[in-house]
Chain A
Amino acid sequence: MSITVRIPQPLRKLTNGLSEVSSSGQTAKELLGNLDQQYAGLKERLCDETGALRRFVNIYVNDEDIRFLQDLDTPLKDGDLVSIVPAIAGGVEENDPKNITRKIYLTFPHKQIQEPIVWRLAKKFDVITNIRGASVSEEIGLMALELKGGTTDIERAISYLKELGVKVEPIEKDVIE
């Protein structure tokens, strides 16, 4: 089964610049899940915390808006063309949800273990930090961290960590849930 998905300009950062990608799914919801596996972060751009589609983004199956079909339960079939269409305006950099949660795995190098990095992170950036697990030895520190906030703030916080020499990796959902 193959479904072609048209990616709008503002989301192509997440698809390595591709304007069309292939994916699969029996329903629109499944498709979004699969797309998110292929291109991490796509789903949170499109759906809110409850899983509902954000009100300034629409999804069309062939040329029909899924809100007028069965919404995220709209069935899909092989060969369907799905378009993601956000509201755009010249003044908008991208449709960047305000509150997203990103789970990351941090590996602290030896020299950083003693530093209160997470505390500094929360002071410096507009993000809420939540430590979901940690293990520290003399040589190395590992931490599962949840960041909540705007995408831009989270991205800035993550680059800051990287600048400090902390290794940052995304966590698959089930690791800490």
Chain B
Amino acid sequence: MKLTEQQVNRYSRHIVLPEIGGKGQRKLLESRVLCIGAGGLGSPALLYLAAAGVGTLGIVDSDNVDLSNLQRQIIHSARSVNMAKTESAKSTIQALNPDVNVNIYQTRLTRDNVLDLLSDYDAVLDGSDNFPTRYLMNDACFFARKPLFFGSVFRFEGQASVFMPGQNGPCYRCIYPEMPPADLVPSCQEAGILGAVPGIIGLIQATECLKFLLGIGSSLLGRLLIYDALSMTFNMLTIRQDPNCLLCGKQPTIHQLQQYDQEVCETGQ
């Protein structure tokens, strides 16, 4: 694949970087990333992945745009209220960069459809806002051997990491073996969030994903980044593969996808 004159111009600020160059840019254009949720995390991540020229973006979301989403879900606009988030995100991306093919899946992720969806992609960016989807994606990416770019936010705080099955690092279950019991999880509407916080975390996920696609730098593999907006601190913690992990440990008991039956909120954070 040869870059067109327009592409050389569009991506010139990438191409001049020795770490990327024309070769790296072509890699991005040939890459395929699946984004879970077009919400608070997915919005900024998708916009930057699209702008960067990631050639194929898959978007999974079953929700419609609500006015209260616009405080942080910047891929949508006032015009897209009540539209499917997938459609709204697709039209924004197409207006931004026609180089990008957008595949949309207006569906809920389940253990029956997730592996099929994953098989078409090189990497997964998890922008889900609930534990069942997070554990489902963790397990599915482990079985499908797909790198998972993890992010999570709560009020003024965020976490981010990278899970790469088969690469010595942990999976999400190594860090948190069990999800908090369902009755500790009130409705999604109850949880407030400073809109800029998922912006920061979503872009950390996107940055890690781009680095992976380009094969540059050192990733958050084995490290958990904790962001606290109120004190404006970034803390880095070491996370390890747990030999007792039920999924990726020495004597795993999880050999297939489970029933993740906590009450599920909408996919998008």
Contacts and interface: CB of A to CB of B under 8 A. Distances in A.
Given A92-B191, A93-B185, A63 B237 contact: yes
Contacts of B235: 6, 83
Contacts of A65: 175, 237-240
A10 B237 CA distance: 19
Interface in A48-86: 55-56, 58, 60, 63-65, 67-68, 83, 85
A88 B184 contact: no
A6 to B, nearest CB: 7
B193 interface: yes
A30 B193 CA distance: 34
Given A9-B154, A65-B239, A90 B269 contact: yes
Contacts of B175: 58, 65, 87
A91 B152 contact: no
Contact of A9 (B156, B188, B198): B156
Contacts of B238: 60, 63-65
Contact of B183 (A10, A55, A63, A98): A98
Contacts of A90: 40, 129-130, 152-154, 188, 191, 193, 198, 265, 269
Interface string A92-125: 1111111000000000000000000000000000
A98 B184 contact: yes
Interface residues of A, number: 30
Interface string A126-139: 00000000000000
B180 A9 contact: no
A9 B179 contact: no
Contacts, number: 103
Given A8-B157, A55-B177, A56-B179, A93 B240 contact: no
B236 A63 contact: yes
Interface string B211-224: 00000000000001
B10 interface: no
Contact of A55 (B178, B184, B186, B269): B178
A150 interface: yes
A22 interface: no
A19 interface: yes
B180 A85 contact: no
Given A55-B177, A65-B238, A65-B240, A88 B153 contact: yes
Interface of B: 40, 128-131, 134, 152-157, 159, 175-181, 183-188, 190-191, 193, 198, 224, 226, 228, 230-231, 235-240, 242, 265, 269
Interface of A: 6, 8-10, 19-20, 55-56, 58, 60, 63-65, 67-68, 83, 85, 87-98, 150
